[in-house]
Structure 1
Amino acid sequence: MSRYAISDIHGCASTFANLLQRIDFGRNDELFLLGDYIDRGPDSRGVLHHIWRLQGEGYQVVCLRGNHEQMLLDALREGRAPWDYLPHRRERQQTMHWMEYLPFYHETPGYFLVHAGLNFEIDDPLADEEAMLWIRDWEDTLDRDWLGERILLYGHTPRPMEIMQREVQDMSLRQMVCLDSGCAMHYPGMGYLTALNLDTGKAVFEARGGI
């Protein structure tokens, strides 16, 4: 059994599928997805259907809420949601129901997982759900007393692969790693989807495909 974390798939369905094959993800493993499954990339629908298929077939997949899921939910409630990638009403209803129940964070032994980060400038970082989806440039405020011996895994702010490799290498010392390697972006050093093995501390990088 292995535990893996992936963040910010952003519609890169073929890259996501290839990455799961590379890590040989199986039913005895656990997969933690840190949000932002949709938008930017070419196949948001394919990403959602892949996740739903895994969950429906009994794979252990924990999905967190990202800011792009929240934006879609907000647009739905206001009657202005773009549904280009989900043409069927049943899919739209399924998507809304699924996203409404996505948690803002998750804990697994040794790790705390969230989409964007935490607001450590308040007494209870778990009280600020908006920060969990949107916060940036919070790393210098990391509260190690609050975190204890855990490592904080997050995404939201893309990193070039070279920087992420250093962060993974030093994660026990830093106690935090950003796993957003900009899969749907075309900036230098980006265009990858990253899976971190939480048990070995090793990261696997899959180059973008299908864009």
Structure 2
Amino acid sequence: MIHWPWRTATPATGQLKKLTLDHTPSVTYAVGDIHGYYDLYRQLEHQIVVDARTFDGPALLIVLGDMIDRGPKSAQLLDHLLTPMPDGITRICLRGNHEDMCLRALSTPQSADDWIACGGAETLTSYGFHPDQGKQHAIHTPHWHPAMVAQIPLSHRQFLADLPVCVVLPKWVFSHAGLNPTRNIDQQRKDDLIWTDPTVLQGHTFAQCLIHGHLPVDVPSVGHKTINIDTGAYKSGILTAVRLVEGRAPYFITADAHVSQASANF
């Protein structure tokens, strides 16, 4: 097991865990929004493992959030993400807005309708719990919400609750949605990192390049100090990762639901 010298910050109420590493890994990978497409993620992760073996030193894999909802196998995906990576590779998963909505729904019955209507219905179905479509997902009995919570394993709920909201490296910063360009990186709030419209980031002045998802694009988008790797897997069938090595151009790896395996450099 690799012991990374992370600095962890958990600031004031309303802000969540942030991870900072003061050195740049030999190779770093980031994966865009998976949205319950477990099989597609396993295909992409296999390619990443094979690729990482071509580099000396430990590798870091960052999953950029929105792992759940919309797709058919969120429960199976979380089961897999709770297992360790092969030796030499560390995987860190970040909180996206869909994980945030799920956590709110699990803690507050009044929040469940919004989450279920935004893809949570498919997540619950993957756990064998079927929302009442005829009542527009309404929580219509006192027992509905406790039953819903109980259907999701405690290990999955703890995993979601413990997800950090960003990873900061010397050259790159990783968050689900973006950053608030009016705040320093260490002053970013939870909603800045998981809900920000990434289009406001063009021309930001941060030292690091931001790697994010949240806003689906047809192909990976490389802007001024930004890289968007959300290629809309839940509707396109294409899941994208970026490989980052200091001194090299970003390299994109894809898994395509329409072919057995695919790797592309855009």
TM over 0.5: yes
CA spacing shift, 1:41–1:57, aligned 2, 3 Å: farther
CA spacing shift, 1:56–1:18, aligned 2, 3 Å: closer
For residue 11 of structure 1, report the CA deviation from its aligned partner.
Answer: 0.6
When the two chains are superposed, the root-mean-square deviation of aligned CA atoms in Å is: 2.7
AA aligned to 1:106 is: V
Structure 2: 5+ residue stretches without partners: 1-25, 130-149, 260-266
* Cα offsets for 1:5-62 (capped at 9, x unmatched): 0021111111111111223166942101110110111111121112111359884111
Residue in structure 2 matching 1:206, options 236, 255, 259? 255
* Cα offsets for 1:75-132 (capped at 9, x unmatched): 0001347633235948521111111111111112311000000111346673321121
SS of 2:126's equivalent? coil
Residue in structure 1 matching 2:79, options 49, 52, 65? 49
Distance 2:45 2:232 in 1: 17
Q: Does 1:127 align with 2:177?
A: no
More relative contact order in 1 or in 2 (CA 8 Å, sep 6+)? 1
Distance 2:86 2:253 in 1: 25
**Are the aligned partners of 1:4 and 1:196 in contact in 2 as well (CA < 8 Å)?**
yes
Q: Does 1:104 align with 2:150?
A: no
Distance 2:258 2:152 in 1: 25
Distance 1:103 1:43 in 2: 22
Partner of 2:105: 75
**Are the aligned partners of 1:118 and 1:125 in contact in 2 as well (CA < 8 Å)?**
no
Residue in structure 2 matching 1:158, options 213, 216, 228? 216
**Are the aligned partners of 1:8 and 1:34 in contact in 2 as well (CA < 8 Å)?**
yes
Deviates more, 1:73-82 or 1:88-97: 88-97
Deviates more, 1:199-208 or 1:81-90: 81-90
Q: TM-score when scaled to structure 2?
A: 0.65
SS of 1:184's equivalent? helix
Give % identity: 28
Q: TM-score when scaled to structure 1?
A: 0.80
**Are the aligned partners of 1:12 and 1:209 in contact in 2 as well (CA < 8 Å)?**
no
Corresponding pairs, count: 194
Q: Does 1:30 align with 2:60?
A: yes
Distance 1:57 1:2 in 2: 14
Q: Does 1:196 align with 2:242?
A: yes
CA spacing shift, 1:56–1:124, aligned 2, 3 Å: closer
